[in-house]
Amino acid sequence: MTPAPFGARLDDVVVRFGAQRRLTAEGSTIKDEGGTALDGVTLDLRPGVITGILGRNGAGKSTLLSLLAAFNRPTEGTVRVGAGDLLEEPWENPWVTANVQFVRESGDLMDDERVSETFKYYADLRPYWDADLAGRLLDTFEIQPRKKPTQLSRGKRSAVGATIGLAARAPLTILDEVYLGMDAPTRYAFYDEILADYAEHPRTILLSSHLVEEVERLFEDVVVLHRGRVLLAEPAEEMQSRGFSLTGPVAAVDELARGRRELHRQRLGATVQVTLEGAPDDGATAGARAAGVEIGSLPLQDLFVRLTQDGGSGASSTAAEAGTSAREGRR
Amino acid sequence: MSASVVTRADRDAFVARARSRATRRVARSVGSATLVIGGIFWSIFLVVTVAVPLIVRQAGGVMGGGVMTGAEYAAPWFGLSLGMIALASLVVPHVAAGGTRRSLFVGGLVAALVAGVAYGAVYGLLLLVERGVFGALGWEWAQLGSGLTGGPWAVVSAAAGAIAVAVYMLVGMAAQAAYRTFGVWQGTLLLLPGLALLVLVDHATRSGAFADAFGGLGLGPDDLPAALGLLQALVALALAAGWLWWQLRILRLRPTR
């Protein structure tokens, strides 16, 4: 039986942490700073799509994702996760927790046991665990299941986490920067595996990443967080229609770009690529064609950088509109 | 669960299965590790219990007391260490695998009880073995085990040891959970209530390090009727279980980067 994909809804969610000094596995201590990780987040996450969760370091991505898997609970507000009309709070709720697989970069493995033992644990708890897929992915990522996580490199450890994320086949699969430490071939193999498995077993996938250019092709929806707030939440297509790029001779591009809000500029010799806000009108399209300027889609990375720039200019009117319509846009 | 429509009945059946799976897995993981490592611990004591008197006899000496007194002190602390290690190893993978804190608690409680019963039974048995060895060698064997009076002493000692090991194990798990939730300073402070539970169970069973330490303070008679002592020990067990549940139900796993 195929489980129905899970969606989620957050209403005015606030998460605050107190400062804390904690013990590490190595016996040293680390100070976790306190503060407000999420500040009034209201958001709908559509079931059955791949959603990119983007944001700079400390934006609140991991905190938001951890709420959905009951790693944590909100200080204020409500979080509801589920399928159809059965949206419920995740905290201590097996209906949600057994259907949500949250994978962090660390992989959340048993450090003192072989990888195979951790997989047995997941297999026993995860109702849709696919042992064949897990074995195949370990082969793909060249990981020996007899090894302990402490014997693995950071990249291999991340790959173990990625394997768990896919093999669990959870109706809501959350991958929180699991690519960290993976080399480029492994990352691309991982992206291909996500798409292949998603096509065969449709479910909801939330993928947080800094490598926006690499993963934007996967996204159907995009959420941008900044300083604990939602800046933007909408389908990727709609997001891409917020701007376009022009590539060609400097003079011609500058002429076409005049009077428009510039999101990004990159120059290489006599050629320049400029990313602009808004949509090209018929005149601009014809002018570009005549001047030998190529019109391209909006690189998500450029919009992301623009939105999250410090100093306030990043929070453009685009983001302000998106923030207020985050909820409505998802329905 | 079907892909199209999920009914309330589907959901409830799913939840019951998930709870049962997770609880059984925790009990199995913690219980088996405790029994395997405990097997090594008690095997060493078995060898020592038999070998040491024979060696002493061979050298022409006489022992004034058995070596099982070491087990009486060591076994509960061994349980406490195993409780800490088991929770440290399991808590994050368990939550990540979809388990709840409740299933972690129930599974941990079951494992602690099973380990306690197993340790207590072996402890009682080894007391009898040691007494037999001493008797065979013609030595006088000073009765060890619990200071509780009345009832068959080996069984009472086994029961007292079982409860003590279970309490120590639960307190060890709770200490680990406290450090995770509250960090180093408050976690250390929260060792004190756990310590009080250890004192309580030692005092109730009239055995263990804290019974010796507090015995001279006149907190109660040196000997206590077995039924009353075991009842007090069971109260300590219930309090330890409640202490662990309180620690686990508020356990938040913070982002670690």
Q: Which of B1, B14, B15 to mutate to test the interface with A (most CBs of A within 10 A)?
A: B1
Q: Cβ contacts (< 8 Å) between B255 and chain A: which residues?
A: 37, 62-63, 66, 104
Burial of A145 (0-12, 13-18, 19+ CB in 10 A): middle
Per-residue pLDDT at A324: 37
Tell me the average pLDDT of chain B: 90
**A320 has a pLDDT exceeding 50:** no
**B6 has a pLDDT exceeding 90:** no
Per-residue pLDDT tens over the stretch A101-133: 999 988 789 988 999 999 999 999 999 999 999
Report if residue B2 sits inside a domain: no
- Residue B95's region, left for phi above 0, alpha for psi from -120 to 50, else beta, is alpha
Q: Which of A31, A61, A63, A71 to mutate to test the interface with B (most CBs of B within 10 A)?
A: A71
Query: Long-range contacts made by residues A268-273, C-beta under 8 angstroms, separation at least 24?
Result: A271/A247, A272/A247, A272/A248, A273/A245, A273/A246, A273/A247
CATH code assigned at A35: 3.40.50.300
The answer to whether the Cα torsion of A19, A20, A21, A26 is positive or negative is negative
Report if residue B128 sits inside a domain: yes
Per-residue pLDDT tens over the stretch A179-221: 888 999 999 999 999 999 999 999 999 999 888 888 888 999 9
| 3-class DSSP assignment, residue A134 | helix
Last residue of a domain, one of A220, A237, A254: A237
Token pair for residue B62?
């006489």
Per-residue pLDDT at B201: 94
Per-residue pLDDT at B257: 55
3-state SS record for A46-79: CCCCEEEEEECCCCCHHHHHHHHCCCCCCCEEEE
Distance CA B72, CA B74 (A): 6
Model confidence at A328, pLDDT cuts 50, 70, 90, reads very low
Percentage of residues in chain A having pLDDT higher than 70: 92
A115 and A191 fall within a common domain: yes
Per-residue pLDDT tens over the stretch B40-84: 999 999 999 999 999 999 998 888 788 888 888 899 999 999 999
Tell me the average pLDDT of chain A: 88
- Asked if A98's CB is within 8 angstroms of B14's CB, the reply is yes
Last residue of a domain, one of A221, A237, A253: A237
Provide the residue range defining the domain that includes B184: 8-249
Chain A (100-139) residues lying within 8 Å, Cβ to Cβ, of chain B: 100-106, 108-113, 118, 121-122, 124-127
The amino acid at B93 = P
A141 and A270 fall within a common domain: no
Distance CA A77, CA A96 (A): 18
- Asked if A17's CB is within 8 angstroms of B93's CB, the reply is no
Chain A (167-226) residues lying within 8 Å, Cβ to Cβ, of chain B: 170
Per-residue pLDDT at B220: 65
Which of B8, B92, B98 lies at the smallest CB-CB distance from A97?
B98
- Asked if B182's CB is within 8 angstroms of A62's CB, the reply is no
- Asked if A112's CB is within 8 angstroms of B99's CB, the reply is no
Q: Which residues pair with A86 in a beta bridge?
A: A83
- Asked if B102's CB is within 8 angstroms of A92's CB, the reply is yes
| 3-class DSSP assignment, residue A222 | strand
Which of A94, A111, A124 lies at the smallest CB-CB distance from B25?
A124
Q: Which of A1, A15, A22, A119 to mutate to test the interface with B (most CBs of B within 10 A)?
A: A22
**Into how many domains does chain A fold?**
2
**Into how many domains does chain B fold?**
1
CA distance B250 to chain A (A): 9
Neighbours of B227 (CB within 10 A): 12
Q: Are B68 and B142 in contact (CB under 8 A)?
A: no
Which of these, A271, A278, A277, A273, lies nearest to A295 by C-alpha position? A273
Chain A (55-94) residues lying within 8 Å, Cβ to Cβ, of chain B: 62-63, 66, 69-73, 83-84, 86, 92-94
Q: Cβ contacts (< 8 Å) between A225 and chain B: which residues?
A: none
The amino acid at A269 = G
Model confidence at B215, pLDDT cuts 50, 70, 90, reads low
Report if residue B256 sits inside a domain: no
**B106 has a pLDDT exceeding 80:** yes
Report if residue B90 sits inside a domain: yes
* Torsions phi, psi for A267 (to 5 deg): -115, 140
Average pLDDT of span B181-189: 91
A225 and A270 fall within a common domain: no
- Asked if B5's CB is within 8 angstroms of A84's CB, the reply is yes
- Residue A177's region, left for phi above 0, alpha for psi from -120 to 50, else beta, is left
Contacts of B216 (CB under 8 A, 6+ apart): none
- Asked if A99's CB is within 8 angstroms of B254's CB, the reply is no
Per-residue pLDDT tens over the stretch A90-103: 999 999 999 999 99
3-state SS record for A169-210: CCCEEEEECCCCCCCHHHHHHHHHHHHHHHHHCCCEEEEECC
Which of A29, A105, A121 lies at the smallest CB-CB distance from B97?
A121
Report if residue B20 sits inside a domain: yes
Residue A4 touches partner B, C-beta closer than 8 Å: yes
Q: Cβ contacts (< 8 Å) between A106 and chain B: which residues?
A: 256
Provide the residue range defining the domain that includes A246: 242-329
Q: Cβ contacts (< 8 Å) between A62 and chain B: which residues?
A: 255, 257
Report if residue B126 sits inside a domain: yes
A230 and A247 fall within a common domain: no
Model confidence at B1, pLDDT cuts 50, 70, 90, reads very low
Report if residue B255 sits inside a domain: no
Packing angle of the helix pair A115-125, A131-140 (nearest 10 deg): 150
Numbers of helices and strands, H then E, in chain B: 7, 2
